Structure 1
Amino acid sequence: MRKLWMLAALLLLPLAANASEFREGVNYTVISSAPASVKQNATEFFSYYCPHCFVFSKKYIPQLKANLPAGMEFKQNHVEFIGREMGKVMSRAFAISEALGVTEKLEPLIFAEIHDKHRRFQSMEEVKQFYVENGVDAKKFEATAGSFVVNSMVDSMRRATENSGIQGVPAIIINDKYLIKNESLKSFEEMIELVGFLNKLP
């Protein structure tokens, strides 16, 4: 398993003095030579099997969404490199929940099932059973699981992960260009400040 960022621990540290300047290579990395996305976005790269992502989803994602710059969209990208084949299963599971519009409901349930109940989803049949148990129509699941929309989303997430160069999660990329260096942050408030700073860069 690749190294996971210790973001959850970092975010528990006291608020540092206001950062007057953020620096490339220290606080963030430029992952693309193209201009920043015109459509402002903060994309979380995560894995259902990552314990730090579980903590982040409960304690910090709601705050992050609430404090994004006006007009900035929050997106998610599930990575496959944690859990090997199970990682691929859960990437498709995430794409299915997005296509069905049930991610907000199912994401906390999936995280809890994996980290509190220590379950490992090893097949789409297991995922289907869990989704059905939690209110998803079985026929809709079956029709969506192998659809063009879901296949495209899975491929897009895989390419985005490869292009980003990330090796650990949770990771936040701003406007498809700036990767936040989690280890440089001393508080969640500092992350919010950095997001605002990066959103102004070209």
Structure 2
Amino acid sequence: MKNLLLGLVALCLVPFAFAKDFKEGENYDVIKMAAPTAQPEVTEYFSFLCPHCYRFEPIVHELAAQLPKDVKFTRNHVDFLGRDLGVELSRSYAVMELLGVEDKVAPKMFSAIHEQHVRLTGRDDIRKVFVAAGVPGEDFDSAVNSFSVNGRLAQMERNTQSADITGVPTVVVNGKYKVNMGSVSSKEELFELVDYLTQKKD
């Protein structure tokens, strides 16, 4: 965890440091049991409860913005942090996706937890964050237990298990390559590594 934190700090502070030769086992790991995606894809695994994910937010948005148009970017909330609250937050992320309000609500959720230090105890408190972000409460209520949200929640849990995600934030490329966040010393190097992995064929 300490190495991860140092790596994230370095990403924020070091402007230029480009790797010339990315290596398996050093810069990335191959996920043995996962099926590779049919098309290039970058997925960030994260949790609203994770302070490192909160600090990584500006970088992950830059990463998504600079990806080529043929590379899909997705996010996957994990539920292994926070016990029952972690599951409810994963559900809340599925609701954000379904309602198309991720850009409005996700920053509010991170802010409530890590800046305002709001103590979220369950679904009612999460609903209040949606409402504060401008989402009608009835929209949240109609979506939170919907078939689509339940399906997405199960999918995120399966993705987390198949990718063997044990810590966040973690970036996975093409469903096959797990980035070693501690191995990169700048956001530019991270972007370069991700680009390298999206084009990797073996």
TM-score (norm 1): 0.91
Pairwise CA distance, 1:41: 1.4
Matches of 1:4 and 1:80, distance apart in 2: 22
Partner of 1:21: 21
Residues 90, 121 of structure 1: 8 Å contact kept: no
Report which stretch shifted further, 147-156 or 77-86: 77-86
Give deviations 1:31-56, integer Å, cap 9, x for gaps: 14566312221100001011111111
Contiguous gaps of at least 5 residues in structure 1? none
Structure 1 moving runs of 4+ over 6 Å: none
Residues 42, 71 of structure 2: 8 Å contact kept: yes
Matches of 2:120 and 2:96, distance apart in 1: 15
Matches of 2:197 and 2:38, distance apart in 1: 13
Matches of 1:56 and 1:178, distance apart in 2: 19
Pairwise CA distance, 1:124: 1.1
Matches of 1:14 and 1:176, distance apart in 2: 28
Partner of 1:146: 145
SS of corresponding position for 1:76? strand
Q: Paired residues, what number?
A: 199
Matches within 5 A, 1:50-199: 50-57=50-57, 59-199=58-198
With over 3 angstroms needed to count, the CA separation of the structure-2 counterparts of 1:45 and 1:23, relative to structure 1, is: same
Partner of 2:9: 9
Residues 5, 169 of structure 1: 8 Å contact kept: no
Matches of 1:177 and 1:186, distance apart in 2: 22
Pairwise CA distance, 1:10: 2.9
With over 3 angstroms needed to count, the CA separation of the structure-2 counterparts of 1:125 and 1:35, relative to structure 1, is: closer
CA RMSD of aligned residues (A): 1.9
SS of corresponding position for 1:156? helix
TM-score (norm 2): 0.91
Matches of 2:34 and 2:138, distance apart in 1: 42
Residues 24, 30 of structure 1: 8 Å contact kept: yes
